Amino acid sequence: MNKLYSKIKIKDIAEMAGVSAGTVDRVLHDRGDVSKKSREKVEKVLKKINYIPNIYASALASKKDFRFVAVIPKHNPEDYWEMIQNGILRAAEELSDFRVNVEIHAYDIFNIASFCKVMEDMIGSHPDGVLLAPSLKSVTFSYTCKMDELKIPYVFVDSRIEEAHPLAYFGQNSHLSGCLAGKLLLTLNPDIQEIAVFSFYNVGQIPANQISQRMAGFSSFMLEKKESCRLHRITLELGNQEKNEVAMSEIFLKNKSVEGAVIFSSRAYVVAEFLEKYNLKKQISFIGYDLLERNVKCMKNDSIDYLIAQRPDVQGNRGIKALSDHLIFKKPVNVLNYVPMDILIHKNIDFYLDFPNC
Amino acid sequence: MNKLYSKIKIKDIAEMAGVSAGTVDRVLHDRGDVSKKSREKVEKVLKKINYIPNIYASALASKKDFRFVAVIPKHNPEDYWEMIQNGILRAAEELSDFRVNVEIHAYDIFNIASFCKVMEDMIGSHPDGVLLAPSLKSVTFSYTCKMDELKIPYVFVDSRIEEAHPLAYFGQNSHLSGCLAGKLLLTLNPDIQEIAVFSFYNVGQIPANQISQRMAGFSSFMLEKKESCRLHRITLELGNQEKNEVAMSEIFLKNKSVEGAVIFSSRAYVVAEFLEKYNLKKQISFIGYDLLERNVKCMKNDSIDYLIAQRPDVQGNRGIKALSDHLIFKKPVNVLNYVPMDILIHKNIDFYLDFPNC
DNA sequence: AATTATTCTGTGTGCGTACACAAAGGTAAT
DNA sequence: ATTACCTTTGTGTACGCACACAGAATAATT
């Protein structure tokens, strides 16, 4: 409750350099109007000591407001994107005392025009920073180019576009995460010969980056480790339960030799609930992604064996924080941030859910 | 870069209530010297609006220094405890602008007297808060009682003592983590019949809470799921490589029917390196705990199949933050915080290591 | 040399809060 | 009614920093 606390402050530096606090401040912020002589005196002191500004005092004194915009898909409350959004909103709260405001602009994932409209309006509003969940590669790229020109820093979450120049990326290494899915499936059933690989048919939309890369990773892994294994690709349709049920009956009921299944998008429950309904849980090893409530429920019913999670909340949270690290705290930020591929099974999923990541 | 930012401040409340800022402050901090009339006026306003103090301004203005002490085992730089310490030190840095100082007091894990000395000196120094890695239960308990009396808040990390009244606990649910080890071993080898269970002989010391509970969890899980399976308990001795090698030869080389092994303390590499040396990696499924550098190396050599991790850095970090949440930010803190049981395999371990947890 | 123009530098104020202190109000005792 | 005493209240200053502004020092012009 006493003494101890001590840190070098601007005033101390001023004293050491034999100038005033104002001059030190001008040097620190490179704001000009400093003679060479004074600048050198200050810089000499700065080199000697390790000045760490009090960011809280700094934020308090600053009059700048920051406006960040997060552009993500429209979604339902139980969706994967909701978790990303939660992370974003949590960051917004944590940073509110630093005069940071975050707006969420949502686009329709099935409608490129909607994405374009959102992006154009967003860029037109001249935000200080942008968090972006990429849509179609070429389209997205044209907007990131515009932001490069306007010097608006942007970060990617979930997936990224190699050609762009984001401040940072937070997301999984999709290819390797597909390999992991393969590895887990082989652990469950080393002798597996036929696997059903599910994906969703996105009306008029090329499959997301993320998902096709996972698929590629999985395929190449299986090809290498178990060439003999046959992969059946089944395309499901969002909301068309009838058709999906037919497709799944075809593969699971008619063809009794399929012993495993994978899905690379977050709606594993669509398949898992089918497995439950027809009592196939034991025969079919099934692996999915992301901790949607319904997925978790299926896992607890043992219709999903493994879920691979990717800390979506952390992605959103750290994405926003990367922007403020760069713009407000002037900290260097890591560009490529691959989030861990968390392996969840019945036995450890509860602790994962209960413990706030970050 | 403009408007937007606005939050209710003490001055606003003062205006609304028709009193001065000083009076509002006195009400907010329950510091007395306020007439019933004024208090009511202020409280009425407070109920209506949602006042969130600016903790940074508050920290800036506060003249209180906080001294936290972390009592943990002495250790080497590559040890498990080093990671806990790193989390502690990171928290100390993050909180330095809040006038928080953290001291690390280390005790000799093999010497109860050393623990007692550290604890007594520590308590005698009247810290504002304590982070504690428990030693022998009964001894530790006597000190937590003393801290209860002195109203010094303390948090447990790693393991806990049920009878004590900590502000918080951060650590794994050891019992279930033992079950998880069992589950993973069965996934690797569903037909396993003989398993070697390793532990370290701690000279003159009862095995740590943590470890014996994992062992119990594992045993009960195996008993339930695979009654026929035989468990061989092998006790190794820290630093006595010769003796250890003999013991391991006995179990792995003479007895060819052992197909799996587990160790519940962090030095899995002692066993794994033996498996590498005698080329037993493929025959023996082996599961260990914690991401020591040497363990990770063994995993990459495929001599360890699974490592169960417990975010030791997060434990240390959140432990210290729990103290400051309680003492400085007056936030309620969760008592029981079970960290996730992270499942690491060759395929996903790198991402886990690269990505800073929190 | 005197004046104006141009750097440059120090001081002062505010950010939102905590806390010390003095002033004001009230009550009880003389 | 006066004094003394306690309670309650408002004001002022400091925390460390950013930034505006005035004033000092220097350079350029007449």
Mean pLDDT to the nearest integer, A115-131: 96
- Residue B180 and residue A60: Cβ atoms within 8 Å? no
* Token couple for B240: 């006595």
Predicted pLDDT at B5? 44
B285 Cβ contacts chain D strand, under 7 Å: no
Q: What is the Cα–Cα distance from B2 to A340, expressed in whole angstroms?
A: 37
Share of residues in chain A with pLDDT > 70 (%): 96
Average pLDDT, chain B: 92
Residues of chain B positioned with their CB less than 8 A from the CB of A128? 1
Pick from A343, A344, A354 the residue to mutate for testing the B interface (most B CBs within 10 Å).
Answer: A343
Predicted pLDDT at B205? 61
B35 Cβ contacts chain D strand, under 7 Å: yes
Choose among A118, A122, A97, A99: nearest CA to A107.
Answer: A118
Let me know: does B302 contact B271? Beta carbons within 8 Å: no
Order of strands across the sheet with B154-157? Answer: B100-107, B66-73, B129-132, B154-157, B168-171, B336-338
User: By mean pLDDT, which of A39-53, A118-132, B78-92, B275-289 is the weakest?
Assistant: A39-53
Predicted pLDDT at B206? 61
DSSP summary character for residue B101: E
Q: How far is A7 from chain B (nearest CA, A)?
A: 9
Predicted pLDDT at B108? 92
Question: pLDDT tens-digit profile of B15-33?
Answer: 888 998 999 999 999 887 8
Whether pTM exceeds 0.75: yes
Mean pLDDT to the nearest integer, A26-38: 88
Share of residues in chain B with pLDDT > 90 (%): 74
Predicted pLDDT at A201? 75
Predicted pLDDT at B200? 86
Question: pLDDT tens-digit profile of A248-279?
Answer: 999 999 878 899 999 999 999 999 999 999 99
Protein-proximal positions, strand C, CB < 7 A: 7-12, 14-21
Give yes or no for residue B138 having a pLDDT over 70.
yes
Question: pLDDT tens-digit profile of B198-220?
Answer: 998 765 566 678 888 999 999 99
User: By mean pLDDT, which of A85-99, A193-207, B163-177 is the weakest?
Assistant: A193-207
Give yes or no for residue A5 having a pLDDT over 60.
no
* Token couple for A351: 């602790």
* Token couple for B294: 């040497």
Let me know: does A348 contact B180? Beta carbons within 8 Å: yes
The confidence band for B6, taking pLDDT boundaries of 50, 70 and 90, is low
Predicted pLDDT at A34? 87
Mean pLDDT to the nearest integer, B327-347: 94
A62 Cβ contacts chain D strand, under 7 Å: yes
- Residue A60 and residue B66: Cβ atoms within 8 Å? no
Residues of chain A positioned with their CB less than 8 A from the CB of B179? 347
Say how far B166 CA is from D4 C1', in Å: 50
Closest-CA residue in chain A for B100?
Answer: A5
Q: How far is A44 from chain B (nearest CA, A)?
A: 25
* CA distances, A84 to each of A53, A242, A333 (Å): 31, 31, 20
Say how far A7 CA is from C5 C1', in Å: 42
The confidence band for B2, taking pLDDT boundaries of 50, 70 and 90, is very low
The confidence band for A184, taking pLDDT boundaries of 50, 70 and 90, is very high
Which of A4, A56, A128 is nearest residue B59 as measured by Cβ atoms? A56
Closest-CA residue in chain B for A348?
Answer: B341
Say how far B129 CA is from D12 C1', in Å: 34
Size of interface A-B (CB pairs under 8 A): 113
- Residue A4 and residue B187: Cβ atoms within 8 Å? no
The confidence band for A358, taking pLDDT boundaries of 50, 70 and 90, is low
Predicted pLDDT at A282? 92
The confidence band for A74, taking pLDDT boundaries of 50, 70 and 90, is very high
* Token couple for B304: 């360890």
Choose among A277, A243, A280, A237: nearest CA to A261.
Answer: A280
Predicted pLDDT at A182? 97
Give yes or no for residue A341 having a pLDDT over 70.
yes
The confidence band for B63, taking pLDDT boundaries of 50, 70 and 90, is confident
Let me know: does A101 contact B1? Beta carbons within 8 Å: no
A10 Cβ contacts chain D strand, under 7 Å: yes
- Residue A340 and residue B351: Cβ atoms within 8 Å? yes
DSSP summary character for residue A250: I
Predicted pLDDT at B33? 85
Let me know: does A48 contact A41? Beta carbons within 8 Å: no
Question: pLDDT tens-digit profile of A225-239?
Answer: 999 999 999 999 888
A53 Cβ contacts chain D strand, under 7 Å: yes
